[in-house]
Structure 1
Amino acid sequence: MSYEYLNTRLRFMKMRLLTPQQFKSLIELRDLEEMIHALAETDYGPEIETSSLEYSGYALIENALVQHVQRVFSKLFRMAFDDARILMRVLLERFEVFNLKTILRGFHVEADPEETALSLFPTILYPTAFYGELLKRDGISAVIDYLLSVGNRYYKPLSATYAEYEASGKLAVLESAIDSFYFQGSRQTLQSLGDENAVLVRQLLCTETDIQNLEYAFRVVEAGVESEEKYRYILKGGERLDEEFVRDLLSSPDKPSFVRKLSGTYYQKRLGEIEETITANDFQERLEDLLYQENCRLDPGRLFDIHLASAYIWRVNVEVTNLRVIAMGHWRKAPWEEVDKRLIWVEGMMPERGAVRGAV
């Protein structure tokens, strides 16, 4: 089996993704019931029909989205062969890392487990029941014990750093441990494959490492953190920013200094002008927008590598995230400005931002 065969099938799956016009229509609907009926006419139809037997309202859409992602990702995984399956596992595992961090964050701030569950991304590597069990625990220590009991490998970084977290109360200790474990393990897996497709996936992960380091460093500078501890949370293995450069950014005395140091780098050129007064939240939003635009971009001429599968995975992520935001907006009658801010506006997937009426 070749990438050409895989990509031929993937092109048909890609055609089933929602169009910008469909998203525009969903946003401009009047309520949740209209959205349910509209989704029933799309590739989400089978899951909407099945979910309607047990659920209604927002819960119906949420359950349908979970089932849909599991269906399309499972199909993608079954279609993959040999090394391609290994590469897809690396790409899909990032959602598991996101979910684990979300659950830890929920326990850290004592959030309602049901609210935390709404923030989890549908996955296929770990079953839905696995996350349900984690949310039933009575705290982070119990979560780690459960990971050990089921043989989940993320027990290792969490158990190694839990005592420090308990003493300091700093969630960053656990989050950094999980991220480092994932990125380091993934790089080792990709290095063992060694072909051009493994290099492509490594570049994607290392770019994400750069983005996370930039977001973290800017927040530290904005907060005026002076402790040497700030250097320990640098993620290793960036694509275009080495550890020494990130350390230099972290040592910036203020935001104008940070912005000047970043000037001329790949990321500054891609972001364009960065105001010296920009807030950490706005800086993070621009970086994440860049990451989504890059990773969702499709090159139709690439038929013989992992590119289409990677872009498809990211596009499903964006599509489902945006559907959740729109559904939540209809459900809670949220102001359009709030919905607009939470949507991921990827070119070619979403309508032009100014062209949406925003009936939500």
Structure 2
Amino acid sequence: MPDFPYVNARVRAMRARLLDSGRLEELLAAPTFDAFLQALANTPYGADLQEALTRHRGLAAVDEALARNFHATTQRILGFADGRPRTLIEAFLRRWDLANVRAVLRGKHTGRSPEEIAASLWPAGTLGEVALRELARQPDIPAVVGSLEALGHPFAIPLAEGLGAYAEMRDLLALELRLDRFYAGHVLQLARGGGHNETVLRELVQAEIDALNVKTALKLARLAPDAPAEPRAPGREAERLRFFIPGGALTTEELFLLLSHPATLEQGWRALRVRGFPVAHPPEDLTAFEKTLDQLLARGAARLYLGDPLGLDVVVGYLALKYNEVVNLRLIARSKALGLPRELVRREMVLV
């Protein structure tokens, strides 16, 4: 049964195919979109790009090439593993299942076409390209949930439980919150135990939950600048707590309530800092703050590549590096298609 020393040895060999900073600069310096395509064709993404160009043109071809390459990477790593290592790797990959299922739900809720929905999906987790396209082809959200049930995917459980309320109220947010809570609990359940690998996975998910709760709480506080000075007004706590995701290492219901009300935001932030949150002051610019949090999470995950050479660390770190590379390449591709200045694009890139 392959264990992490075997898996990590194979992953380290794959690490050599990531693009170095010089190659990224070369792609960023391409004067036109066509020049960018030529440069990308001379990278490990070249074969996927050539195949994608037989079906698509322009950005659609780049997006498909990058998505296929990333999916092949995740499946290759899963192919190295078995038993408990595979279970933990699959649990880490659930984050992409979550993003894809959420994208399908939103697409169906807003009436987007199957082609539009499929173009926004990134097969990387346990839901592959065929399964995701099948979900995108479903006529409505109940049919999407039925397809997930047929696939035996655990996300069908919370969605099926919320279908009645969705049919009555058309409240997509409530359905998404059910999904988010289930994802957090599901992965944390898989990460139970005191072993090193379980701790790595658990801390990653808890950091994601804490970041999401802080972002949400700040948005709620901004949406209610003229809220009553008494944040404990009857009914208001319950309304805010419907947005809270349990399971974080730092954020509790009490802290969420403090952060989500203008009158207690500063008090809540002091308590958050005492618990170890890395940002010193409540932000003025929420967009910039959210980007900073996302960068901290990405860099924290990428640093795990240099962690325990016999544990989950190497796989998580490598996949974080690979995903970051793909995101940066998509950004560069769009900048070339739109003719954006190089320095503007460089500022938007996340370098881990």
Q: TM-score, normalised by structure 1?
A: 0.85
> Does 1:324 find its partner at 2:330?
yes
SS of corresponding position for 2:162: helix
Q: Tell me which stretches of 4 or more aligned residues in structure 1 moved more than 6 Å.
A: none
Give the 3 Å change call, closer, same or farther, for CA 314–74 of structure 1 in structure 2: same
Gapped regions of structure 1 (runs ≥ 5): 348-360
Long gaps (5+) in structure 2: 228-235
Once the two structures are TM-superposed, the CA of residue 206 in structure 1 deviates from its matched residue by 1.0
Instruction: Describe the shift of the 1:180–1:124 C-alpha distance in structure 2 as closer, same or farther (beyond 3 A).
Output: closer
Deviations 1:41-86, CA, capped at 9 Å, x for gaps: 2211222233334433223222221221122212111112321111
Equivalents in 2 of 1:92, 1:337: separation in Å? 33
CA distance in 2, matches of 1:260, 1:188: 30
Alignment of 1:93-112 (within 5 A): 93-112=94-113
* Distance change in 2, residues 1:64/1:57 (3 Å): same
Deviations 1:275-302 (A, max 9, x none): 4xx1332322221121111111145363
Identify the residue that residue 231 of structure 2 maps to in structure 1. none
User: Quick one: which amino acid aligns to residue 66 of structure 1?
Assistant: A
The reply on whether 1:307 has 2:310 as its aligned counterpart is: no
Specify whether residues 92 and 301 from structure 1 end up closer, same or farther in structure 2 by C-alpha distance, changes over 3 A only. closer
- Separation (CA, whole Å) in 2 of partners of 1:167 and 1:44: 46
- Identical pairs, percent: 26
Aligned length: 341
Question: Which residue of structure 2 aligns with residue 293 of structure 1?
Answer: 299
Bigger mean CA offset, 201-210 vs 63-72: 63-72
Superposition CA RMSD, Å:
2.5
User: Quick one: which amino acid aligns to residue 160 of structure 2?
Assistant: S
Match of 1:215 in 2: 215
Work out whether 1:231 is the aligned partner of 2:236. Answer: no
Structure 2 residue 203 is matched with structure 1 residue 203: yes
The amino acid across from 1:19 in the alignment is: D
Q: For the residues of structure 1 that align with 2:83 and 2:150, how far apart are their CA atoms?
A: 30
What aligned pairs does 1:1-360 form with structure 2 within 5 A after superposition? 1-191=2-192, 194-224=194-224, 226=236, 228-253=238-263, 256=266, 258-267=268-277, 270-275=278-283, 278-298=284-304, 300=306, 302-334=308-340, 339=345, 343-347=348-352
Counterpart contact for 1:209–1:236, Cα < 8 Å: yes
Contact 2:96 2:125 in 1 (8 A): no
Kept in 2, the 8 Å contact 1:161–1:177? The answer is yes
Q: Shift in Å at residue 254 of structure 1?
A: 6.5
Give the TM-score, by structure 2 length.
Answer: 0.87
Is the contact made by 2:258 and 2:265 (CA closer than 8 Å) also made in structure 1?
no
Which structure exhibits the higher relative contact order, with contacts defined as CA atoms closer than 8 Å and separated by 6 or more residues?
1
